[in-house]
């Protein structure tokens, strides 16, 4: 599949922002808010997530054995198990079942066409089962309301759980009225649902074969579990005399007891419900709970089904037939892939989509591939459809990490996206993807190189050079011809304000005021006036703090000194965060090793590493686990802190807040916490410090500012970045003071609000901190 050009991608995003964005945002953000509420009310949530992940890990580990186990169980029940290698294999088998069963029973539609009813199934979407069956002359009707809407509209899903989430109620009413011309126009949700229920029941009643997916398949009993909010799935499973369940092999779990945590958590994650409306467990083939096929017609009754309907369903009398189709289609290869394996733990709840602001803006038609959408889609698409499909949308994941807390089985979705991005970068280029180290290779055409990624992935080198040549570098990058060149070659949108580099870096400033020795004297003087705390800090000079916003670095130094803590600000290597954001893992690996080596002596001496930029701390606390030896990672992680977290710890241990700049107790401050800072659970310390210092912080509830490092600079995504940013800016625009913890957050808000948005540490620093 040929990748879209940059212009095509930008055009598609603009179109989706205009046509589907508002509807997607309304639905996905509502589900996300309910998830927060339900998660918050679940006392054992973390234990539940750990247990669910553990079960999935163990199940995927012993997957071949579970396939053998479920085959024995289903066959003992009288059913059949078929393991399909790929989509074509699965489709051919299902078509054969439908045709064979129809011929054997002599039942078909009025025109002799075999008929199938289906409940919602992403796995059948993955293999394009509907198209394959229809190509074989088989009529297929989707019975999930959202899927049926899409079938009528000839559209494709935009969300794993809510496939028609991008279509408003008004649009559905217009579609139904035009297509079906009902006696009375349909308008309300109740009218639309009643019409769909009555219409689809006729198809279910008369169908030859019912096809479902499966949320989970219990191996030792052959039990199929369907967890839904509509009653259609169980009707599809038990009303026709043949039931085919199509499920990926990863849906297998060992025992019924293993099912419990998933039933508990899947609805909480997907829609914020305490539990789904319908939890159906079948060990087929079984008698229908809706219709007693052995009873005389006059005695057939069941809840919600009339005698006439039941009698019609009873015309399918005959031995009930069940087929479990387990799909490989790349999954067993994913199982052997250490980086993609985690994808198989996914329980298809869609929480990653609901927590993602970029998804809110464009939905799965932009943030998705051939089948799957949202954060986890990169892993699925790379595994089952190929790297090219994932490359189409992978860059829409900014690595903000909000999906990490949302995922019920704790999948590190940002890392999977980083890995796939790295592999896309390396297509035809097996070594490093760092133009400053390796240059071009003869295996790849120069036109295929994404120089924008290479530029941003090596932004530390760029920033150092720009700082050394400031203010000339700033004048140059403001010039229209240069902005045009940057847009054409690197994809940097000319509408976006570029950073203004400082000639004097934070490291140079710190050295000019006497370095660590002078800092110790200042800290000793401050400590003599209060509670002495015997700690020393290495302040990490991240790229932005060192070369662009040195004020926040100076504020951090003066704040720590005022609380009696001596500081050093050495010239340290990059953290690798920028390289990771571009999928340059080899570069990030080298930088992580260099940073650890540079800090090891200070850590050995009992020093604390304090970090201002949350994304750099997130790299140290999360990604370094994959880049450094275990002992090195743990030593660095356990001795590194975010600046406001560290100040909070000092205040808790007796440091005097009066040494800092304080408010009057009523001074309202709108505070936006960096998304990765919240994933690290570090929003609360900043709020607490502001309160201790006499401010009244009001945290925003926006998941992300939309800038996301380099993302907001890129021409493809400028409109999307600004759309997401506007939602945040609207929340905080009336506040007299707005502060933000992250580089991206501050830059985005300053652009949108047209005023200064400092880091919280600048609010806390004692007067005169900049000197």
pLDDT tens digits, 432-454: 444 333 333 333 333 356 899 99
Strands annotated E in 252-305: 252-253, 278-282
The pLDDT score that the predictor gives to residue 5 is 57
Domain boundary pick from 327, 351, 386: 327
- Where is average pLDDT lowest: 95-104, 354-363, 651-660? 95-104
Using the 3D structure, point to which of 277, 309, 327 is the last residue of a domain: 327
Question: What does the pLDDT read at residue 110?
Answer: 55
Question: What angle, rounded to 10 degrees, do the helices at 718-732 and 743-753 form?
Answer: 80
- 12 found inside a domain: no
| Residue 585 CB partners (closer than 8 Å, separation 6+) | 418, 419, 422, 579, 627
The domain that holds 225 is classified in CATH as 3.40.50.10420
- Per the domain annotation, does 622 fall within a domain? yes
Characterise 506 by phi-psi region: left (phi > 0), alpha (psi -120 to 50), beta (else). alpha
As a three-state string, the secondary structure of 585-640 is HHHHHHHHHHHHHHHHHHHHCCCEEEECCHHHHHHHHHHHHHHCCHHHHHHHHHCE
Report the pLDDT value the prediction gives residue 722, as an integer from 0 to 100: 97
Domain boundary among 293, 327, 361: 327
* Residue 667, beta-bridge partner list: 695
CA distances (Å), origin 30, targets 33, 133, 375, 410, 455: 5, 36, 18, 22, 37
Q: Which domain holds residue 660?
A: 506-764
Domain presence at residue 634: yes
**Residue 408 lies inside a defined structural domain of this protein:** no
257: Cβ–Cβ under 8 A, 6 or more apart, which residues? none
State both tokens at 106: 């002599």
Residue 570 resides in a domain:
yes
The mean per-residue pLDDT over the stretch 625-651 comes to: 97
286 SS3 class: coil
Helix-then-strand count for the chain, H and E: 39, 17
Helix (H, G, I), strand (E, B) or coil at 680: coil
Residue 633 has pLDDT above 70, yes or no: yes
pLDDT at residue 743 is higher than 80: yes
The pair of structure tokens assigned to 460 is 């530390």
Q: How many residues does the chain have?
A: 771
> What are 698's strand-pairing partners?
670
d(CA 621, CA 619): 6
Q: d(Cα 308, Cα 643) in Å, to the nearest integer?
A: 71
Residue showing tokens 């080596």: 597
* pTM value surpassing 0.75: yes
Taking the C-alpha atoms of residue 421 and residue 372, their distance in angstroms, rounded to an integer, is 17
Three-state SS letters, 465-484: HHHHCCCHHHHHHHCHHHHH
Average pLDDT over residues 571-590: 97
Percent of the chain past pLDDT 70, that is, above it, reads 89
Considering the domain boundaries, does residue 86 fall inside one? yes
Q: What is the DSSP letter of 395?
A: G
CB atoms within 10 A of CB 144: 23
Listed range (137-141, 168-172, 296-300, 752-756) with the worst mean pLDDT: 296-300
Among 386, 181, 230, CA closest to 378: 386
- Give the integer Cα–Cα distance in Å for 356 and 345: 19
Tell me how crowded residue 668 is: count the other CB atoms within 10 A of its CB: 13
Asked if the structure places residue 771 within a domain, the reply is no
Alpha carbon distance 101, 118 (integer Å) = 16
**Phi/psi class of residue 583: alpha, beta or left (left: φ > 0; alpha: ψ in -120 to 50)?**
left
| Three-state SS at 117 | strand
Is residue 692, in this structure, part of any structural domain at all? Answer: yes
| Total domains present in the chain | 2
| pLDDT value of residue 426 | 85
């Amino acid at each position: 599949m040929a990748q879209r050009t940059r212009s095509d991608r930008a055009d598609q995003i603009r179109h989706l922002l205009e046509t589907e964005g508002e509807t997607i945002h309304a639905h996905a953000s509502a589900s996300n808010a309910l998830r927060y509420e339900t998660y918050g009310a679940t006392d054992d949530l973390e234990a539940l997530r750990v247990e669910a992940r553990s079960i999935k890990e163990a199940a995927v580990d012993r997957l071949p054995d579970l396939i053998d186990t479920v085959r024995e169980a289903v066959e003992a029940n009288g059913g059949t198990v078929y393991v399909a290698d790929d989509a074509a294999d699965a489709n051919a088998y299902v078509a054969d079942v439908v045709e064979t069963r129809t011929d054997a029973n002599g039942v078909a539609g009025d025109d002799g066409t075999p008929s199938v009813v289906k409940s919602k199934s992403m796995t059948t979407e993955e293999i394009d089962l509907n198209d394959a069956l229809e190509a074989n002359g088989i009529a297929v009707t989707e019975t999930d309301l959202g899927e049926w809407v899409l079938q009528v509209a000839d559209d494709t899903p935009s969300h794993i759980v809510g496939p028609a989430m991008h279509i408003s109620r008004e649009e559905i009413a217009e579609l139904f009225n035009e297509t079906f011309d009902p006696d009375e126009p349909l308008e309300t949700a109740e009218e639309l649902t009643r019409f769909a229920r009555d219409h689809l029941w006729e198809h279910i009643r008369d169908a030859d074969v019912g096809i479902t997916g499966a949320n989970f398949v219990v191996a030792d009993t052959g039990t199929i579990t369907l967890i839904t909010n509509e009653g259609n799935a169980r009707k599809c499973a038990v009303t026709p005399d043949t039931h085919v369940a199509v499920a990926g092999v990863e849906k297998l779990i060992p025992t019924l007891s293993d099912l419990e945590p998933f039933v508990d958590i899947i609805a909480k994650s997907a829609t914020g419900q305490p539990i789904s409306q319908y939890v159906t467990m079948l060990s087929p083939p079984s008698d229908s709970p809706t219709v007693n096929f052995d009873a005389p017609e006059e005695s057939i009754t069941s809840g919600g089904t009339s005698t006439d309907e039941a009698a019609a369903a009873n015309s399918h009398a005959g031995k009930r037939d069940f087929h479990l189709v387990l799909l490989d289609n790349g999954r067993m290869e994913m199982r052997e892939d250490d980086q993609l394996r985690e994808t198989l733990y996914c329980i298809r709840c869609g929480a990653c989509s609901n927590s993602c602001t970029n998804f809110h803006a464009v939905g799965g038609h932009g943030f998705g591939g051939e089948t799957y959408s949202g954060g986890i889609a990169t892993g699925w698409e790379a595994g089952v459809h190929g790297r090219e499909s994932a490359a189409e949308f992978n860059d829409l994941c900014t690595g903000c990490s909000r999906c990490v807390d949302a995922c019920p089985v704790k999948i590190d979705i940002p890392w999977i996206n980083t890995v796939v991005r790295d592999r896309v970068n390396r297509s035809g280029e097996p070594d490093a993807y760092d133009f400053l180290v390796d240059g071009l290779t003869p295996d790849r055409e120069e036109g295929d190189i994404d120089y924008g990624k290479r530029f941003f992935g090596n932004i530390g080198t760029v920033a150092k050079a720009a700082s050394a040549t400031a203010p000339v570098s700033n004048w140059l990058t403001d010039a229209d011809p240069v902005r045009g060149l940057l847009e054409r070659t690197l994809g940097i949108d000319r509408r976006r304000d570029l950073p203004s580099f400082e000639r004097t870096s934070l490291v140079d400033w710190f050295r000019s005021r006497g370095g660590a020795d002078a800092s110790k004297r200042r800290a000793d003087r401050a400590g003599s006036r209060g509670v002495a705390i015997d700690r020393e800090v290495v302040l990490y000079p991240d790229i932005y703090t060192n070369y662009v916003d040195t004020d926040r670095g100076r504020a951090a130094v003066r704040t720590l000194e005022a609380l009696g803590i001596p500081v050093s600000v050495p010239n340290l290597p990059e953290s690798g965060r920028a390289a990771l954001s571009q999928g340059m893992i080899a570069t990030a690996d080298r930088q992580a090793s260099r940073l650890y080596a540079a800090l090891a002596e200070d850590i050995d001496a009992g020093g604390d590493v304090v970090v201002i930029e949350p994304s750099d701390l997130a790299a140290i606390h999360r990604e370094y686990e994959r880049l450094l030896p275990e002992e090195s990672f743990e030593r660095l992680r356990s001795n590194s802190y975010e600046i406001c977290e560290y100040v909070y710890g000092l205040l808790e241990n007796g440091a005097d807040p009066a040494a800092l700049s304080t408010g009057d107790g009523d001074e309202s401050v709108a505070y936006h916490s960096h998304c990765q800072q919240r994933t690290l659970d570090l929003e609360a310390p900043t709020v607490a410090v502001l309160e201790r210092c006499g401010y009244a912080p009001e945290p925003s509830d926006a998941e992300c500012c939309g800038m996301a490092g380099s993302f907001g600079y890129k021409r493809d995504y400028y409109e999307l970045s600004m759309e997401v940013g506007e939602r945040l800016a609207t929340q905080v625009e009336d506040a007299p003071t707005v502060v933000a913890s992250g580089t991206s957050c501050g830059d985005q808000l300053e652009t949108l609000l047209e005023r200064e948005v400092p880091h919280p540490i600048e609010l806390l620093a004692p007067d005169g901190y900049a000197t």
